[in-house]
Amino acid sequence: MDQDNAILAVDIGGTKTLVALVRASGIVAEATVPTRREDGPDAWLAAVAAAASPWQGQFRSIGLAVTGFVRNGLWSAMNPETLGIPADYPLIAKVEGLFGLPAVAFNDAQAAGWGEHVLGAGQGKDLVFLTISTGIGGGIVLNGRLLDGLAGHFGLTTEGDENIFLEDHISGRWMAAEARNLGHEVDAKQLFAAAATGEDWAMDIVEGSARRVARLCQNIQLTVDPPQIVIGGGIGLAGGFIERVRSLVVPPGQVAPVPISRAELGVHAGILGIADLARAKSLQAGG
């Protein structure tokens, strides 16, 4: 992908938005801004345009990896608590109008899963990607194909009769809420720091989240049986989290537990995944 085929790659999550100029050589420039949750999608896209303004004229198409459900260019929240996207927001039409360039959009975890498949821990093999973040997202690459639509929305699965989303018992938001219930006004990052110094209340919260992720990994192995599960996200990549998950996984019968690895692309998995997907789309369109 030469300069003409550079991609503006965007990853809009419930906490942060990452914007990058991506060429065949990789990420050549990037910026991270907070996702100002209360402002709404028009403002989130305006923040993307502002962050990308120094690279004006250097890219020919746009790839958007976004938290939420994407279908036929429309964007909706699955869990408004993760990000309050209005139903059927016309994401592709808005972005193409804003930049005057073609755009493609995928769910953020699906894009990140593709990134890890093509350039990261997957090394071209099938995988299931999990992002443990503001919510819990997933990307499934099966027989070399990325499953889109609702596929991978593990955070929206429910447990018990209360119809409570799994992610509302695992994510960074849940951790902060649990800490608040115990009288500690901390975010997940500060909670992990407290756990690292041996604070029992913090270690218990991390353990509870890791245990549920371990059960999710067991269920993924029994339903999809992937060669590996790759874990990313702010919580997923936090110190010691993956190790706790691995130690809590119960193998299915006499079968070895599914290998669990770190996202090798870290925070860039979604950006690099959507850039590859956007490049493939523009090549298909004869770009």
Q: Confirm or reject binding of residue 14 to ligand BMX (CB under 6 A).
A: yes
> Which residues does residue 139 pair with via DSSP β-bridges, in sequence order?
129
Q: Nearest approach, Cβ of 246 to ligand ADP (angstroms)?
A: 18
Instruction: Return the CA Rg of the chain.
Output: 19
Residue among 77, 210, 214, 263 that touches ligand BMX (CB under 6 A): 77
Q: Nearest approach, Cβ of 243 to ligand ADP (angstroms)?
A: 14
Q: What residue number has its CB nearest to ligand BMX? A: 135
Contacts of 221 by beta carbon, 8 Å cutoff, 6+ apart:
229, 252, 257, 258
Q: Nearest approach, Cβ of 17 to ligand ADP (angstroms)?
A: 7
Partner that binds at residue 235, options ligand BMX, ligand ADP, none, CB closer than 5 to 8 Å by kind: ligand ADP
Grouping H, G, I as helix, E, B as strand and the rest as coil, residue 151 is coil
Stretch touching ligand BMX by CB under 6 A, among 91-99, 132-140, 246-254, 274-282: 132-140
Separation of CA 86 from chain center: 19
Give 163: exposed, middle or buried? Use CB within 10 Å, 0-12, 13-18, 19+.
exposed
Q: Which is nearer to ligand BMX, 167 or 178 (CB)?
A: 167
Compute the distance between CA of residue 67 and CA of residue 116 in angstroms, rounded to an integer: 17
Q: Which helix (H) or strand (E) holds 230?
A: strand 229-232
Compute the distance between CA of residue 138 and CA of residue 212 in angstroms, rounded to an integer: 15
**Contact by Cβ (8 Å): 230, 261:** yes
Q: Confirm or reject binding of residue 9 to ligand BMX (CB under 6 A).
A: no
Q: Show the binding pattern over residues 182-221: x = contacts ligand ADP (CB under 6 A), - = does not.
A: -----xxx--x-----------------------------
Q: Confirm or reject binding of residue 238 to ligand ADP (CB under 6 A).
A: yes
Stretch touching ligand BMX by CB under 6 A, among 46-54, 104-112, 220-228, 244-252: 104-112
Residue among 1, 15, 120, 122 that touches ligand ADP (CB under 6 A): 15
Q: Confirm or reject binding of residue 135 to ligand BMX (CB under 6 A).
A: yes
DSSP letter string over 196-222? Answer: HTT-HHHHHHHHHHHHHHHHHHHHHHH
Q: Confirm or reject binding of residue 41 to ligand BMX (CB under 6 A).
A: no
Sign (positive or negative) of CA dihedral 192, 198, 199, 204: positive
Closest CA to 60 of 27, 93, 104: 104
Partner that binds at residue 77, options ligand ADP, ligand BMX, none, CB closer than 5 to 8 Å by kind: ligand BMX
Closest CA to 155 of 80, 244, 251: 80
Grouping H, G, I as helix, E, B as strand and the rest as coil, residue 263 is coil
Q: Nearest approach, Cβ of 2 to ligand BMX (angstroms)?
A: 31
The residues of the shown chain that bind ligand ADP, judged by CB under 6 A, are 13-16, 133-134, 172, 187-189, 192, 233-235, 238
The residues of the shown chain that bind ligand BMX, judged by CB under 6 A, are 13-14, 67-68, 77-79, 82-83, 85, 107-109, 131, 133-137, 153, 155-156, 167
